[in-house]
Amino acid sequence: MKLIRMIQNGEVRPGLWKDGLIVDLKMIFPSIPDIGETFFAENWLEKISGVNAPGLALNVRLTSPICRPSKIICLGKNYAEHAKEGGFDAPDKPLLFCKAPSALSGPFDPILLPKSSGQVDWEVELAVIIGKTCKRISRTNAMDHIAGFTIMNDVSAREAQFGDGQWFRGKSFDTFAPLGPVLVTPDEIDDINNLQLTTRVDGALMQDGNTRDLIFDIPFLMEYISKDMTLMPGDIISTGTPSGVGIFRNPPVILKPGNVVECFIESIGSIINRVMEG
């Protein structure tokens, strides 16, 4: 399945995406909750799995496919070539940081340049959506706790990121986590360890990587994180970005008003965000 959250007449409603057409799940299940912690905890993924209603061509705006996650956990330097382009050694254990959930925005919403930091940059990432509460799970059953996958652009204000001495502020400005366009359930993806990821800025290819190059794969990350941190349904783990970010280019390339950033992941789709003054 491919799940969406859509805004129609000012109301956010869950839906299914079927080849460009939309099934409005609220019309079928009036009591269905928004796609978030309660949705997964009440096993709505299974409840909607048998829906075979035809999709309709609805005039709606897509928003983030997940609402109010308790946390967004991100990985730094999780592709060897990305670490190398920044002059860093590949880490010997996962480098974790967080983005504020308030940074989430929709797959086609604008990226707003902050007033307090320059050098805004792009990072295409495969994002994992947790489907079940889990703690101290093993990598052998980690995939059983995943609701699906989506795309996140880990937008980064490098001036704040590097100037602060830690990354939270520079990663968490409003609109700095465009997410979507859909949540793809695991059965829809043949091989999560072999997906192409790209970023284009104004049509120019900037990043071109593959998930097979992850240093720490998804089962390992889930085992590592959950040792002493409970993962909640709807939580996001964003697994890191391949090489090709703007700040490490020679000369550096930074986002400016009017730029259009497209992040693509095979089997999921694209998110496209125009850069605007904040």
Structural domains in the chain, CATH included, are 2-63 (no CATH), 72-277 (3.90.850.10)
Q: Is the pLDDT of residue 86 over 90?
A: no
Question: β-strands 236-238, 95-99: how paired?
Answer: unpaired
pTM of the predicted structure, to 2 decimals:
0.97
For residue 174, what pLDDT band results from cuts at 50, 70 and 90? very high
Q: Is the pLDDT of residue 87 over 90?
A: no
pLDDT of residue 271: 98
Q: Is residue 23 within 8 Å of 53, Cβ to Cβ? A: yes
Q: Is residue 147 within 8 Å of 183, Cβ to Cβ? A: yes
Helical ranges in the chain per DSSP H: 25-28, 37-41, 44-47, 80-85, 158-163, 168-171, 218-226
For 89, phi then psi, to 5°, come to: -75, 150
